[in-house]
Amino acid sequence: MKIKRIEHVGVVVADVEKSRALWEGCFGLKFGGEEANNIRKLGLYPVGEESMVELISGIGPDSRHAKMVAEGKGGINHICFEVENIDEALAELKAKGVPLLDQTPRIGHAGCRIAFLDPKGTDGCLIELAQLPEGVTKAHHG
């Protein structure tokens, strides 16, 4: 398996829009865009040329991410590594005994193929693997 870079660090926040003041005003990061579906909203902040911070907030008080914030479990949620070939990476990790939350890749932000590893097998760290769509070199927005 070849890990190419840290693609992003996921941070759970109460409200992506309200968090923009911190990330833009205090840290001076440029907003790279947002994505939303019926369960969560993402705010994306490129950091340098290689990685980004992904803010995640739930849609509605009953969503998983909103409940995490309400329970005091917001903040850093996961680290995402870009891999060259996600199918090979998952097969290799499974063969090494690493438990997978996603047995097969699914579509994530910016059309990436993603899969999460079970934190029970990664010292309690939620790790996401991402393979960028063919021909895309960075999944930054904007």
- For 79-83, what is the mean pLDDT? 98
Is 90 exceeded by the pLDDT of residue 139?
no
Name the residue among 118, 114, 125 with its Cα closest to residue 86: 114
Does the domain at 3-131 match CATH 3.10.180.10? Answer given as: yes
- For 51-64, what is the mean pLDDT? 95
The pLDDT tens digits of the residues spanning 4-28 come to: 999 999 999 999 999 999 999 999 9
Degrees, nearest 5: CA angle 46-85-43: 25
Name the residue among 44, 41, 43 with its Cα closest to residue 7: 44
DSSP classification of residue 23:
I
- For 110-138, what is the mean pLDDT? 93
pTM of the model: 0.91
Q: Element (H or E) spanning 40, and its range? A: strand 40-47
For the ranges 11-15, 94-98, 135-139, which has the lowest average pLDDT? 135-139
